[in-house]
Amino acid sequence: MYTVYTKYFTGSKLSEYSYNYQVPLIVEATNRYETSLANTVEEAVELIKGLDSPYLRVLPDTYHMNIEEINFSETLFKYFNYFDSLHLSDNNRFYPGYGSIDFYSLFRFLKCLNYKGTFAIEGNIKNNFESDLKVSLDMIKSIVSRL
């Protein structure tokens, strides 16, 4: 299956544009209920692995990883060189802090790896945007202050 999709990146206008203009082309690992293309981080890596472009990247997402991955830390360690951004969403698809993902352990592990990439908070709105964002950011600030 992956070799079929790999051809879309090899020599494609997207891949060429990404390389010529130094714009990342990112493949997000998305759970099996939403797509059959790349459900795990490993499958996303397989789509771009071996292609000669530093601008082809993968995007782990904690919501999707919670469904598809056995162990966050093991997956992120194994594919650390393939991502520089991470989506943060809780197991119930609300913003971080409204579910049961252990974000403290995740941030502690990423700190041990000396992760220098970015994070994006995403998810469904539980109450309203401002209060949900405040809950999420307060939780993240609390975690960061304890690292």
Catalytic residues: 28, 122
Angle in degrees, CA 73, 77, 83, rounded to 5:
110
d(CA 124, CA 15): 31
Residue whose C-alpha is closest to residue 59's, from 26, 31, 25: 26
Distance between CA atoms of residues 21 and 113, nearest Å: 29
